[in-house]
Amino acid sequence: MRLFEVTPEKDRIIYELKKVGVDPYALRMADKAVARAVKICGLTPAQGNIIKQESLACGIDAAVCRGTVNCAVERTDVLIIGTERGLKALSERLAVQPFNLPETGIALKSFLTKSKKRSFFSRGREFSLEKPLVMGIFNVTPDSFSDGGMLANEERVKAKLALFASQGADITDIGGESTRPGSDAVSLEEELARILPAVKLAKEMDLFVSVDTYKSKTALKALEKGADMINDISGLTFDSDMAKVCADFGAAVCLMHIKGEPKSMQEAPSYANLLEEVKSFLYDSADAAVKAGVREDSIILDPGFGFGKTLKDNHVILKYLEEFTSMGFPLLAGMSRKSMIGGITGKPPQERLIGTKSLEAVAVFKGADIIRSHDVAETAEMIKVVDYLRKAGCDA
Taking the chain (396 residues) in consecutive chunks of 10 residues, what is each chunk's mean pLDDT? 76 88 88 87 96 96 94 95 93 96 96 89 96 96 60 84 97 94 92 96 97 98 98 97 98 97 90 94 97 98 97 96 93 97 96 98 97 98 96 78
Q: Are 168 and 377 in contact (CB under 8 A)?
A: yes
User: Does residue 36 have an active-site annotation?
Assistant: no
**Active-site residue (options: 194, 221, 337, 338):** 338
In 3-state terms, what secondary structure has residue 66?
coil
pLDDT the model gives residue 147: 54
Question: Could you tell me the pTM of the whole model?
Answer: 0.91
**Active-site residue (options: 225, 259, 352, 372):** 372
CA distance 98 to 117: 34
pLDDT the model gives residue 396: 55
pLDDT the model gives residue 35: 85
pLDDT the model gives residue 121: 97
DSSP alpha helix (H) spans, the chain: 10-20, 45-57, 84-93, 101-113, 154-167, 188-204, 216-224, 242-249, 274-291, 311-319, 322-325, 339-345, 353-365, 376-391
User: Does residue 338 have an active-site annotation?
Assistant: yes
pLDDT the model gives residue 153: 79
Give, for 137, the enclosing helix (H) or strand (E). Answer: strand 133-139
